[in-house]
Structures are given as C-alpha cells and as structure tokens.
Amino acid sequence: MSTKKPVRVAVTGAAGRIGTSIIFPIAAGDVFGKDTPVILQLLELPDALGKLRGVEMELRDCAYNLLRDVVVSDDPNVAFKDADALFLVGSKPRGPGMERADLLKDNGKIFIGQGKAIDAVAADNARVIVVGNPCNTNAYIASQMARRVPKANFTAMTRLDQNRAAAQLAGKAGVEVGAIGNLAVWGNHSPTMYADYTHAYINGRKVSEVITDHEWLNTAFLKTVAQRGKAIIDAQGVSSAPSAAWAAIDHMRDWHHGTNGRWVSMAVPSDGSYGIPEGLICSFPCTVDANGQYHIVQGVELDAASKAKVQASVNELLEEREMISGLLAG
C-alpha cells in the first residue's frame, strides 16, 4: 500500500458525460501517478445527486487500489475542501435561441460562486482546469474571485484542440501521434482558436516538409480541427465526452508531472506575452518544468497570417470579458 499523502481531487458536473469519463482514470492513477492515492470529491446539482450516487457505487466497485475515499456533495464548500486539483466541468449548456451573452451570464454566476469557494476552502496551491464552456471566460471569472489561491493556477482546456490537430497531422503523414511536436493552440476554446502547425515538427522535420499538400494544411486541416465538435454532434447526436475528458486528464497530468521541454497547449492567464492583455485566459504553447510550474513559451515568431488569427481569437475573449464585466462589478 502506498504511504504517499493522497491528492484531493474535486470534479464538478461529476454525473455528466465528461465528468463521469474523467473520474475513473483519475482513480486508476492516470493523472497523479500509479503510486499516488487519491480522494475524489464530487460536486453535482441537487437534482443530479441521485445519479451521482450511482456513479459513486461504480467507482467503488472498480476496487481501485489508489482510491482512498469518495465524497459526494451539492455544496462547493464541501466538495472543494482542501482540494489540490479541481476539474470544473459542470456548466449550463446553451439552450435553443440562447445568446452567448446569456450563457456567459448564467455560467458566470456559477463560476463566481465556485471561484469564491475555491479561494475559501481549497488547498493554498490548488490547481484548476475549467472544461465547462465558455471555459476560458469561466476560468477568468473564477480567477477574479481568488485572493489566496494564485490567479495563475486558474487554467482552461484547449488540449482537446491540440490533440485533435495532432491526430489529423499524424493521420495525414502516416506517423504515430508521438512523432508530432511543437503544435500550439492559441486563443479561445471556440471555433476562433488557432491551431498553429507552422512551428510544429514531425519526427524532427517541419510539418510543411513532410506534408507537402499545403492546400490541405491551410484549409481542410484547420477547418476540420475548428469544426470537430460539430462534426461529432452531427455523427453521434451528442457532443464529445471521452475525448474531452481525456484531454482534461492530459492537461492536469502534464501540469503535475512536467513536460520535459515538450510544448502543450494550455489556456492560462496572460502575463502580457505576445501583446495579449494581462489576465486574459488565453491558450498559449506552454512547457511545464520538473517542479510542476508552467511557462508560456517565449520567442515564437508568428507570421502576419498567424498573428491575425491569434488576434481574432483574442478579440473574442475581450468581447466575452466585456460581456461579463457587469457581473464582476456587481
């Protein structure tokens, strides 16, 4: 039996499709390591607590050696207590005819409350990944509530966009996904995000040297990645869940263990790099050092076309920030 201190992991929307797919790999040791025990602290809306009890039974029935306990609650002050890592997945889906501004406001209220609860009861160095959409702005809202927990610890998920892009490139080049490096997603987790392959390599060679179909790279590739979520809904009738869950796991695992120089896409509070306004939660290429500290990769030279795409996505983030400014002021 491992004598290591358990990591406390909170997951919101834990009875939902993505939340359910996240918690089993965490309990199996896929995020914090095969020798690190975990305590899962699961949050749901009161109406979904019954369903969550069923998920809890299944979790316990897996008899995971590393799973020390499961806490189920509808109160963030209970579910976030002493949490070292938080996956904020639960959020209100956009209803028919609903404007983006309405969605932002409805979810904004959830993330104000959750941001306050994190600051009140989570571990001092709690690390947060927001998956619930619009994830960048939801993370921004929660980060603005933090006084004790560092704002830099509030991040959002763009790893799914990176994974989708890597899978497309690997498929086209006929190589394994691990051969792809330095692929970067910039901006917002929305169709405006920019998957920049121009600095990426395949087995150490520039992508554009290996994939000579430049027409595909500049049109079909970018379009496929940007519209993948819709394509999945069209095909299966529901949105992506296992792939979104796995990307969240990739994000937190790499943040915990480090990337050994490998680039990973993370939406993190901007420090002003690349002229992106400070505090805005924007996706950048990042590396994570051996101490689990992430760093925005510096000195990436973006050509004019890339700069325009990044700017368009940053403009969308600025618009979203403007839409929720009243909520934060109130």
Q: Is 17 in the site for ligand NDP (CB under 6 A)?
A: yes
List the x/- string, 121-150, binding to ligand NDP by CB under 6 A: ----------xxx-x---------------
The residue within the footprint of ligand NDP, chosen from 45, 121, 318, 327 (CB under 6 A), is 45
The residue within the footprint of ligand NDP, chosen from 93, 272, 275, 326 (CB under 6 A), is 93
**Residue (110 or 149) nearer to ligand NDP, CB:** 110
- Interatomic CA distance for residues 325 and 176, integer angstroms: 44
Return the residues of window 155-214 that contact ligand NDP according to CB under 6 A: 160
Q: Is 7 in the site for ligand NDP (CB under 6 A)?
A: no
The residue within the footprint of ligand NDP, chosen from 108, 187, 229, 269 (CB under 6 A), is 229
**Residue (142 or 202) nearer to ligand NDP, CB:** 142
Q: What is the dihedral of CA 290, 296, 300, 306, to 10 degrees?
A: 130
Using CA atoms, how far residue 160 sits from 134, 165, 166, 319, in Å, is 14, 8, 10, 23
Work out how close the CB of 12 gets to ligand NDP at its nearest, in angstroms, rounded to a whole number.
4
Of 200, 203, 199, nearest to 174 by C-alpha is: 203
**Residue (10 or 183) nearer to ligand NDP, CB:** 10
Of 278, 274, 297, 276, nearest to 286 by C-alpha is: 297
- Interatomic CA distance for residues 189 and 43, integer angstroms: 24
Work out how close the CB of 292 gets to ligand NDP at its nearest, in angstroms, rounded to a whole number.
24
Q: At 88, give phi and psi (nearest 5°).
A: -95, 95
Could you tell me which residues are beta bridge partners of residue 43? 12, 73
- Specify whether 189 is catalytic: yes
- Interatomic CA distance for residues 318 and 281, integer angstroms: 10
Q: Is 15 in the site for ligand NDP (CB under 6 A)?
A: yes
Contact 91, 132 (CB under 8 A): yes
Of 164, 178, 290, nearest to 222 by C-alpha is: 164
Q: Is 116 in the site for ligand NDP (CB under 6 A)?
A: no
Which residue type, as a one-letter code, is found at position 15?
A
**Residue (25 or 33) nearer to ligand NDP, CB:** 25
| Token pair 């933090």 in the structure block, residue | 146
Q: Is 12 in the site for ligand NDP (CB under 6 A)?
A: yes
The residue within the footprint of ligand NDP, chosen from 10, 27, 31, 43 (CB under 6 A), is 43
Return the residues of window 48-77 that contact ligand NDP according to CB under 6 A: 48
User: For binding to ligand NDP (CB under 6 A), which residues are involved?
Assistant: 12-13, 15-19, 43-45, 48, 89-93, 110, 131-133, 135, 160, 229, 239-241, 244
Enumerate the active-site residues: 189
